[in-house]
Amino acid sequence: MAVLSTPLHYLTSVPPVTRYFTLATIVLSSLYLWIWWSAETTYIPYLTLVPGSSLFYPWTFVSSALVEASLWELAFSLIVIPASLRYFERLWGSLEILKFILICVTGPNLIAFAFNWIEYAAIGDANLFLYGMQYHGQMALFTSLLVAFTQIIPEHQVQIFGLFRVRVKRLPMVYMTFSVIMTLLGLQCPYITIQFGWFVSWIYLRFYKRNVTDTLGGVVTYGDRSETFALTSWFPPFLHTPVSALANTIYKIATRLRLVPSSFPQDIESGYSQVPGGARAEAERRRALALKALDQRLAHSSSNLPGQNGPSGQPARPSPPASAPLTAEQRGSVSEADVADPPGSTESEE
């Protein structure tokens, strides 16, 4: 029973969205492979996204991501995707990870559908652009998960094939480079969805994802406006100026059209903007307030020491608090209570 209970315990420990998404991937991929083997055809428009037929099968904008067309693609997806979804579902919750999956699957498929129709209108080859390409698989979702990992743990290092060590923030661009190479070699389908997946996931995480923070009483914010997650951070330095100018122009237009929110709730006292991962910045801010209050307390107590009398024998007036910084020993003595709730500090929140 111990041997049988271990897989069952593992399955019950997997969050529900991850569990059902993995099960649907196995079922639809197996169905596709069975039809391909029995009917000897790869044209299955009711399971995969075919630009010329998908208007008659609209569910394929979602279901195509659950279809892997080969055993090695299926094996790779089952190894990588469920583990990543499990991590983010526990971090974000089931509803947020479900929204993330639907957006990062449907968005790239819609862009690919529109892109193929534009190619058909420009070149006029329906057999190639409308019926010769079938978008399927979880490449776009995998790219989106890499972007999400870049937001959460950008400096974490991973080992690839036991040979290379690379920071997480470099992985999306490595995968994007692979996509560009494969697209230029003529394999537009399905590798171009990697580029669309990166763009859609960054837009969603940058402007729209709902975040509930614990540092300021459960403030709800949307997106991540930190500089480390800006669009220019994905490109080499020599491209920062043109990319920044283009991005700022598009952002201003989108803000005027109310497509994206213009700002976040602000901390009126310090102008601190609450963003995902802002707990560390909030702790540093509170620590600075605690150290300032401790400076004032120590300066005030030293000015009231006995024996410090004026020339006439009268007690000297207390001098104003000294502005000299604390020594390393004094700073090291700040308690956790002072950092969590600095004495004499009042905060106003919006």
Q: What distance lies between CA 163 and its chain's CA centroid?
A: 27
Name 326's Cβ contacts closer than 8 Å, sequence gap at least 6. Answer: 291, 294, 295, 298
Residue 120, pLDDT > 80, answer yes
Between 10-24, 97-111, 175-189, 211-225, the lowest mean confidence (pLDDT) is in 211-225
If one counts every other C-beta atom within 10 angstroms of the C-beta of residue 119, the result is 17
Round to whole Å and give the CA distance between 105 and 141: 6
Q: For the domain covering 8-208, report its CATH number.
A: 1.20.1540.10
Greater model confidence, 104 or 190: 104
Selected residue with higher pLDDT from 138 and 325: 138
pTM of the model: 0.72
What is the average per-residue pLDDT within 56-70? 93
**Distance between CA atoms of residues 190 and 193, nearest Å:** 6
Give the pLDDT score at 78: 94
Domains in the chain: boundaries: 8-208
Alpha-carbon gap, residue 180 to 201, rounded angstroms: 18
pLDDT tops 80 at residue 183 = yes
When mean pLDDT is compared over 129-138, 223-232, 336-345, the highest value belongs to 129-138
d(CA 86, CA 331): 41
Whether the pLDDT of residue 199 is over 90: the answer is yes
Residue 349 is predicted with a pLDDT of 37
**What pLDDT does residue 195 have?**
94
What's the length of the chain?
Answer: 350
Q: What are 272-303's pLDDT values in tens digits?
A: 334 444 444 545 555 666 676 777 777 776 66
- Of the CA atoms within 13 Å of residue 288, those in its CB half-sphere come to 7
Check pLDDT > 90 for residue 267.
no
